[in-house]
Structure 1
Amino acid sequence: MSRGEDKYWYNLKTGEVERGFESPAPDRAGPFDTAEEAAKAPQVIAERSRAWAEEEAEEDR
């Protein structure tokens, strides 16, 4: 099993897609199988955050 060296990551500070562990862990989102998937990380993060907020709001009712 890969530990992420051969995966793609989205650098949260620079907005660049990277392959492997180029940046420190707190600056990376991923891993992703392709560079195209990694490039969509900001949208994926926003969608998941929205979904989690909705779930929490439902649980608080």
Structure 2
Amino acid sequence: MSDGDWYFCTADGSVRQGKESRGLDRLGPYPDEATARNALEIVKARNASADEQDRDWNR
């Protein structure tokens, strides 16, 4: 993990380089600022995929 990693702070919606926010409030690391800005969309897509996998498993 490098100091150049980017994170999305769920507490205030900011994007920060480095581990400036609490671990519980941090999404990431992401390789760049633009990707970190899309963290909530990435999480939403991953959750939708996991939900679909769960539905398939239960069928």
TM-score band by shorter chain is over 0.9
* TM-score normalised according to structure 2 size: 0.94
Letter in 2 for 1:56: D
* TM-score normalised according to structure 1 size: 0.91
Q: Does 1:49 align with 2:41?
A: no
Map 1:3-42 to 2 at 5 A: 3-42=1-40
Displacement of 1:4: 4.1
- Alpha-carbon RMSD: 0.8
Structure 1: 5+ residue stretches without partners: none
**Percent of paired sites with the same residue:** 24
